[in-house]
Amino acid sequence: MFPSTIYVGFLSLPTYATLLSLGVIGAVLLSVWQGTRRGLAPTQPFDAALLGASGGLLGARAAYVVVNWAFYRDHLAEALRLSAGGLAWQGGLVLGLLLIALYGVRFRLSLGALLDALALGLAWFTLCLWLGSGAANDVYGRETFPSDDVLWRLSADLPDMYGLRAPRINVPLLGMVWSGLAFLILWRLGERLREPGGLFCIYLALTGLGGLVFIPLQANPVPYLVHVRLDWLFSLVLAAVGLCGLVAVKLRRD
């Protein structure tokens, strides 16, 4: 979908790594801004965001390599080449949130307020990750045919991770639109929701609901559990946790 290299004057930058860097930098800055508005010292969301980003990148890359081990077992050097693309955001979210939670416990911070401070930054990083996927082709859609009607109209001549082109559902574009919408929703609600944990629960719910819709349209290989993709099950859990968390926040407020 996007060129693999960005040219800025005489500089040539790898698109995926550049977008990933913009995602991390933007997420950290947004987290500091949101954290200070919630009464946190600037260093607290800054440290938590950096810790979460580091753990998130490590967890996401490790999960992606494990899922695609059939390829990486014969190309071990590629497993360390992050600029070529390949992040399983589910693994990154789990490890990143675990480290953030441990940070909050260590310094006795309100976990709800801390996660709310990071929610907008997480949404920004998710958007950049989808943009990067459009350049790296690490997430690609199912092949379609004219008889598929609506799905055919959502398709384009796109490659898979091995470079084989075919009419495929433009999953990265759908992901960009959804994550961009989620970012705008969180931006608008950030000033209205003051109950700790509410904004982060909305991020979880929107991310999970998006996965429930878009993951069945993907063709990149993932493990299955009882004929259901594990990443779809993860999105189901994410949406359920987010929605249940919102109910708990509302009950606590009332």
d(CA 53, CA 74): 28
102 CB neighbour count, 10 Å cutoff: 13
Please work out, in degrees rounded to the nearest 5, the angle formed at the alpha carbon of residue 240 by the alpha carbons of 121 and 95: 45
**Each residue's pLDDT tens digit, 117-153:** 999 999 999 999 888 887 777 788 899 998 888 889 8
User: What's the rounded Cα separation, in Å, for the pair 80 and 178?
Assistant: 29
Whether the pLDDT of residue 90 is over 90: the answer is: no
CA distance 69 to 23: 26
Collapse the DSSP code of 183 into the 3-class scheme (helix H, G, I; strand E, B; otherwise coil) and give the result: helix
pLDDT surpasses 60 at 1: no
| Structure tokens that stand for 112 in this block | 């709800």
CA–CA gap between residue 193 and residue 47 (Å, rounded): 23
Predicted model pTM? 0.88
Q: Are 239 and 208 in contact (CB under 8 A)?
A: yes
Structure confidence by residue, pLDDT tens digits, 14-49:
778 888 889 999 999 999 999 998 888 989 999 999
Residue owning tokens 């790898």: 14
Of 176, 184, 75, 180, residue with least CA distance to 135:
176
Query: What's the CA angle centered on 27, arms 235 and 14, to 5 degrees?
Result: 90
Pairing type for strands 11-14 and 5-8 reads: antiparallel
pLDDT digits (tens, 9 = 90+) for 183-236: 999 999 987 877 888 999 999 999 999 999 999 999 887 888 888 998 999 999
pLDDT digits (tens, 9 = 90+) for 203-213: 999 999 999 99
